[in-house]
């Protein structure tokens, strides 16, 4: 049983999800520290950071919803937590959709990013303190789930692909992100 436990520890699917949480949190912090003085440069930087936040959150949510949540719902003692987490994802997706159509000059832009940050931080706190620990104590096949996560992440994430940047727009359209608003103009 010890080799199995060691194998599971090395392939803990929650570690990559927690790294995603940390990466997005750092991006939210970068956004919060931005100054509003040099309008053009700050707007471009804000667009870039918010685009990264949205892309990472969309990818992360898709991975959880397609792979992790169905697994967890089958093995944890409180499957209703997964329903709540999916509702939190839906709320975050609505904010992301709003941001994808906004310019940084919009008076609601910064507050919408802050609202998204608060929502995501609350969601992450619940996942990391309640849901993931239950998953770690469950009978989930860590190796299989980790392998599925890794394969799907490579399939969805243009940064994980070794091909050139020309495939990035194609990958964005496959992942359901429709460039629009200021972020679409930047990406285009």
Q: Tens of pLDDT along the chain (188 residues)?
A: 334 443 444 589 999 999 999 999 999 999 999 876 555 567 888 999 999 999 999 999 999 999 999 999 999 999 999 999 999 999 999 999 999 999 888 999 999 999 999 999 999 999 999 999 999 999 999 999 999 999 999 999 867 655 444 444 443 433 333 334 555 434 43
| Per-residue pLDDT at 36 | 60
Tokens of 105: 């000059």
Which residue shows structure tokens 């299989």? 144
String of DSSP letters for 140-181: --HHHHHHHHHHHHHHH-GGG--S-TTHHHHHHHHTT----H
| Per-residue pLDDT at 44 | 86
Three-state secondary-structure class, residue 111: helix
Q: Tell me the angle at which helices 13-32 and 109-126 cross, rounded to the nearest 10 degrees.
A: 150
| Per-residue pLDDT at 180 | 45
The structure's pTM equals 0.79
Other Cβ atoms less than 10 A from the Cβ of 25: the count is: 15
């Amino acid at each position: 049983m010890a080799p199995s436990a060691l194998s599971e520890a090395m392939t803990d699917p929650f570690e990559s999800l927690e790294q995603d949480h940390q990466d997005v949190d750092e991006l939210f912090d970068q956004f919060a520290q931005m100054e509003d003085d040099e309008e053009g440069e700050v707007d471009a930087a804000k667009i870039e950071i918010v685009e990264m936040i949205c892309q990472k959150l969309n990818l992360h949510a898709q991975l959880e919803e397609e792979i992790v949540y169905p697994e967890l719902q089958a093995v944890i003692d409180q499957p209703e937590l997964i329903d709540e987490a999916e509702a939190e994802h839906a709320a975050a997706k609505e904010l992301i959709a709003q941001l994808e159509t906004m310019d940084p000059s919009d008076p609601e832009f910064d507050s919408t990013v802050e609202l998204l940050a608060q929502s995501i931080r609350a969601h992450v706190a619940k996942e990391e303190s309640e849901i993931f620990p239950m998953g770690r104590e469950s009978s989930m096949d860590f190796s299989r789930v980790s392998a599925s996560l890794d394969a799907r992440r490579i399939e969805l994430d243009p940064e994980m692909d070794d091909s050139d940047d020309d495939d990035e727009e194609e990958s964005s359209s496959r992942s359901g992100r429709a460039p629009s608003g200021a972020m679409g103009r930047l990406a285009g």
